[in-house]
Amino acid sequence: MVADSMNIESIRAFVSYKALLVLCYDFRRYQYFRKSQAGLLTEGRSDQIGDGSVMTKLHESIYDKTGADIPCALQTLANRYVADNPAEPYRYRAFNREGMQRANDFRYVFNLGERFPEAEIGQISYAWGMMWCDHPNTEMTWLTTAWGPLEVFVNGHSIYRSLPGDERPKVKRECRALLNTGWNDIVLKFTKTRAGFGGLFGTTSSKWVIFNSIIASRERSGQEGWLFSKPLDEAVEELPVAGQSEFAGAMQWYPNLDWTEEQKQMTSLERLYGSPDGLTAFAWSKFHANNVASRIYRIIGNSLGPTVLFIDGVEKYRCEQAGSFDLEMELSYGPHQLVIRDAAASSWGSTVTVMSGDETVLLEQPVPVHGYSGAWLYLGPFADQYIPDITELIELHRVHEDGGQGTYWRGDMPGTWIRPYLEAPLFGKWNYPVGVTLYGLAQMGRTLERPDLVAYAADHVAQTVRWYSYTKWDYEQYKGTGINQSIADIDSLDDCGSFGSTMLELYRDHKQISGVEDLAGVIGTHMSEAQERLPDGAFYRKHGQGEDTMWADDLYMSVPFLCRYYELTGNEKYINDAARQFLLFREYLYIPEEKLMSHVYDFEQGLATGVPWGRGNGWVLFSLSELLSVLPEEHPEREKLLGMFRTLSAGYLAHQSEEGLWRQVINEPDAYLETSCTAMFIYAYARGVRNGWLNDKASYSNSAIQAWSGLTRHSIDARGNLYGVCRGSGYSHSSRYYKYDLLPQLNDTHGIGIVMLAGVELLRLIEWLQIP
């Protein structure tokens, strides 16, 4: 390290003459990146390479290709991430409310005893579904509760059979299977006893490992849920497989696939809503005007009561009584939305046919709905004061007020509602590592003049926020939402703080994202009024993962949001709370002899774990730098917090490895080199030097430079894959857990955004050091 007495002029000379030769080859190259917005493009999707640990000689590092050039590494990381996770909407599936529902813990409830009260002891009922897997040999873990004998089959193989001691209402047992690429059959076999018939089956985590069973039969493939069979006297010889007809074999499947003969004689609105005199409902479909020779189309139909017809949101026909209609109109080439508004009288509903010359134009679903074959979706019924405006009608993120719990679109099948599902691996997801990833993309996009990256991050945030009201409604209706369970059911800082902070960061420049301030208010209220605290006011975890514990991680899950919410509202209670949290956490987690932070304080044991986990310490210093950048200069706690920042920075500096990286357990030389904590120390050191928080500018500048060089050599490959990022953690009083159980994972989102933020802050430091 350079001597502490080195003055600022010497530092600038050292960095610009020596270190920048490594970092940027020529600063004009960096300026070219800023002007051209160019980047290194990845070649399609990256395959899973290795086990996610530090790269081996089989992988070309980004350093091998471009040296420690910061913009090149950032561009490559960002391009790979966006290529692997393109923007996409949520997917719509049919869901039958008459089928198996979920419990509060997100598992499916197979209440077969209630559904088949006539079932005899020893009879067997099967449940049949399937799930998708992108990668071969992926391990999936489920959690079972058996009220009687239960056997679980995956792809025809028995993976679990309950023991007598398992068959209790309060007992939970895990079962695991390796999944194939593509669809995997899942069959549950329940046997009735005097004690019970059925059980629960689902994921072990309602927020991190989402499991939605998809119906596998030919007739309704793609619906979310399960088919379940009428009880049988004997087990079947062959289990059902995906694509098989429901009518093949000996089993009779529920819920009912079709309407009764009596219901088939009714109109769609009568089947769905009865005949509520004076109420209104909508039917929505779509057609394509694809006749190149003529733009003239006829809309022919018949209505059983008052009807209004809309094409692309514009009223084209209205009648106040039953009758037929024949409309001729000119339509542009391409798709057109068709909406019918019907009012109930003695009967209600309309039939519509679109004609192009002598040919009938096919009507189709207005949005693709998996597991539903009808061309029309239905919404209602509404009293006059609740009839939605046509401009809002087809905005699918809206739940429509109906004077009760609200309503949403349905399909013309028994019990069938339309629901959105988050099925993209990352885009549209709300969780804390994705939050910091989007923060990194946004800051990198701003710094390197990549508006496409900023727009990508903003679009991701906007999609989650736009759907928030629906997400809450969906959760209340079904005890488990198809999109972003964490924000629908906030019960921890993990659920809201990180992504909420990024939401507010992007809102600065994207005020058009509607709903941000309302959702920020929900998060602010949770942190202020609902989040578990100790008597002294410190955040801690009373329930859920790590019961009765305090985690260093939670400073990141709370403080950056509190800082930005303070900036948004001007309410000093939020910035005061952020400052207080750091000083309180220090009392519980600080290891004075090491100048490091313990990962967790265990209140049941009455002591801290004493293990300075790398990323946990990274979260602390990273978040403290976020606080110091916002905290008013005159704040009474500022000097204490500056002292804490300097003390911890010195403690971390003493443990930097020769490779430039820090380790998974900071003070244990046999722990593996870990990427995310290294990036967070770069970020904090670069900010600390530039803002004058760190007095030894030479040592910390050089440490950050050396660490970045280490990342480019050991953690980032030439295709933008990121290695050496510790996966999401539990906690332990033993460092062996962190070193040997908590292993790295390739392209883990706990590290991608952090590395981008580190590169951005290092670039800013370099620019600052070059100022004469």
Q: Show Cβ contacts of residue 332 under 8 Å, excluding neighbours closer than 6 positions.
A: 289, 295
- Summarised one tens digit per residue, pLDDT across range 385-434 is 999 999 999 899 999 999 999 999 999 999 999 999 999 999 999 999 99
All structural domains of the chain, each given as residue ranges with its CATH number in brackets, are 8-86+426-769 (1.50.10.10), 98-254 (2.60.120), 262-421 (2.60.120)
3-state secondary structure 348-365: CCEEEEEEECCEEECEEC
Provide the pLDDT confidence category of residue 346 given band limits of 50, 70 and 90: confident
Coil, strand, or helix at residue 532? coil
What value does the mean pLDDT take over residues 195-208?
91
Sheet with strand 296-303: strands edge to edge: 323-330, 296-303, 350-356, 359-361
Strand partners, 182: 133
* 399: nearest Cα among 387, 407, 390, 391: 407
Identity of residue 545: Q
- Summarised one tens digit per residue, pLDDT across range 97-110 is 999 999 989 999 99
Residue 480: predicted pLDDT: 87
Which of 131-145, 541-555, 668-682 has the weakest average pLDDT? 541-555
Q: Show Cβ contacts of residue 418 under 8 Å, excluding neighbours closer than 6 positions.
A: 92, 93, 94, 95, 369, 372, 377, 408, 409, 410, 411
Average pLDDT over the chain reads: 92
Coil, strand, or helix at residue 289? strand
- Summarised one tens digit per residue, pLDDT across range 521-577 is 999 999 999 999 999 999 999 976 678 999 999 999 999 999 999 999 999 999 999
What value does the mean pLDDT take over residues 446-473?
97
Identity of residue 552: A
